[in-house]
A and B are shown apart, each in its own frame.
Chain A
Amino acid sequence: MAKFKLGSSIILVVLITLSVVGACQAFVFTDPTGLYSTTIWDQWVYQAHHSTAQITVFYGEGNYDLLYFESLGTVADDSVDLLAERSIELYGDPGGLESFQLETPLKTMDVAGQSGLSCVYTYEDARGNTLWEYRVFLLLPGNQGFSIALSSDKPWVRENPPLLEDILANWRWLL
């Protein structure tokens, strides 16, 4: 009986390990315009028909799981603080996002040597679902705005999810 228990425990540990390893399998994604590369978990699927030269979109397993990177082009803001503050103000203004609420204040972060600001906010989509979005604002040399966003209908995006940590840890600017 004890042998059986030990055997099943080992199998269980192996299975859990395999599933964790499997879950963390990732591929290297290189931006078609040659601006950046990073790793994306296999469960996140690139959406060619929603992506353009400016925006790259991935869908996750959940119905609302969404990851996207956007090159804004030249912005007039002199600092990433101004870009982030202006964006948040516009999201909250009429014509912005429905029931917009800043859940965590802006905090500084580093993305492969470029300092940026991140925050988490919630808003309602047209069907009344509350969506959570983790947003990173960056201002690259030449006043090129850039943004990374991860959203879901679940609040897991709020707690520095491992997916985002992996993306940011493996981020490389190619310019």
Chain B
Amino acid sequence: MKTSRLQRWFGPWTVVLLFFVLLSGSVQAASLGERFERTLGGSAVPEILKQYGGEHVLPIGQRMWVEEIFRRLVEVTEREDVDYTLTILNSSELNAFALPGGYVFITRGLISAIGRDEAELAAVLGHEITHIERKHGVNAVLRQMGLAVLLEVGVMTLDLASADLLRVASATLLQLVSLGWGREAEYEADLSGQALAVKAGFDGVGAVSLLDDVFTVGSEDLPMKIFRTHPDTRIRRDRLEAALVSFWSTPVVVEDRDVVERLNASRNSKQARRNDPGGRYVVIVPDEGAGLHVFDQQVRQYVTWFENTKVHDFAWSPQGQYIALIVNEGSQRQLWIGDRWGKKTKSVGLSGQAITEMSWSPQGNQLAILVDGPMGSEVMVTYLEADVLLQVGGDFTGESSIWLDTGLYFAHGDMWYHTSAPKVSPVTIRNPVPQVLQRQRILSPTVIKEGNTIRLTRPSLTIP
């Protein structure tokens, strides 16, 4: 078949023209879609404020702290077309949610429940920001209205600026917002929100401890609405815990192993390990079967901690607030954490596996442990404040470990390997103002209930 000269000439140009028409259409569609998102979200804001008691203004210091966490998260988002805003709602309910177009809401009740845990607040806000980043809200609304396909094949045919469409979409949005954007969207927001928080310099464990705190509350009514669409919170929690290890670097061989070996030897010297960094206690010996024999230099007395316990090894945390022990509990070799008054605060045990060695992180909030497994000792990390266990050694087993400012080192065969956790940066207010303090008139003792007895302790003292 012959083609005419005209056809030969116009053929390629038609393709190019068509390409540009489609491209400009899709750019317009994208821009229209973004405008629609913002308008849709904005249309629901007054109703949300009405439902949740209006906007709540936090005290200055707390407001600056929350805003700084939010700012750090927004700074590492990918969508440049979104103008993020955070509103604190005047409700005691534990809730947070996001509307399309960048509107993030959190209740004062949830902020109060989180307290000063920046990792947990970053987890909540990261989760909500991810809903906006991934367009979960707007997609859910369009899906509900049966318009999702239309949006995908060509928004140009749909008048997104139409007032009627907006009214219906807004009503749908308000219906959906209290239910969540669907299970898959929530799973995605969990993991991507956690990754966003880590990218912004927060500890990813906040997402896990947040769910643990909700478990602790344990009431049907109290868990946050943001978890309402998830019948199995345990699955979500375990997924978030499993994801934590992905933020660690892959173990690599250490070239200058002499330095690490020297540091390991000095750290493991008996003298270095005995002395409490707080300067009060000296551990005499782990007393076989009779706990830990300790000399209290302040009252110049010998005391025994963890009586009737076989202690194999011990290590003070770098700041001396805690002491970690490897003990025999039944047939298990467990890790125990005690406070600096010799009271057990936590234990970590793995069924059928013995914990053989431990090493504190320089910040004193994590511990690397070696856990005996069938192929050798696995290198794991656990947290002081959260019940998580991460296998950070990858495919390698370890024989010894040391945690320095530069990361975690572990010996494997003749080699030392290095791995490190993502950097965590504490929140510092960018432009602070002086605090206004008020005198606390009564120093109440702390009441601790132990079985049938109540123990009163002095108010805690901290050295500046």
Contact = CB atoms under 8 A, between A and B. Distances in A.
Contacts of A102: none
Nearest to B64: A90
B433 A87 contact: yes
Contacts of B222: none
A75 B431 contact: yes
B462 A72 contact: no
A66 B434 contact: no
Given A48-B463, A56-B464, A90-B60, A76 B434 contact: no
A63 B439 contact: yes
B58 A76 contact: no
A9 interface: no
A33 B464 CA distance: 9
Contacts of B439: 59, 63-66, 151
A133 B431 CA distance: 22
Interface residues of A, number: 43
B437 interface: yes
B403 to A, nearest CB: 24
Interface in A45-59: 48-53, 55-57, 59
Nearest to B56: A95
A77 B437 CA distance: 22
Contacts of B463: 48
A141 B63 CA distance: 27
B433 A90 contact: yes
B84 to A, nearest CB: 20
B57 A70 contact: no
Nearest to B463: A48
Interface in A32-91: 32-33, 48-53, 55-57, 59, 63-66, 68, 70, 72-73, 75-77, 83, 86-87, 90-91
B435 A70 contact: yes
A84 to B, nearest CB: 9
Contact of A50 (B59, B63, B440): B440
Interface string B40-81: 000000000000000001111001000000000000000000
Contacts of A76: 430-431
A90 B430 CA distance: 15
B434 A70 contact: yes
B106 to A, nearest CB: 15
B437 A52 contact: no
A135 interface: yes
B413 to A, nearest CB: 44
B461 A49 contact: yes
B64 to A, nearest CB: 9
Contacts of A135: 434
B437 A149 contact: yes
Contacts of A96: 59-60
A125 B63 CA distance: 19
Interface string B428-456: 11111111111111000000000000000
Given A63-B439, A68-B437, A87-B434, 7 more contacts: A66-B437, A70-B435, A91-B436, A95-B57, A95-B58, A96-B59, A151-B438
Interface of A: 32-33, 48-53, 55-57, 59, 63-66, 68, 70, 72-73, 75-77, 83, 86-87, 90-91, 93-97, 123, 125, 131, 133, 135, 137, 145, 147, 149, 151
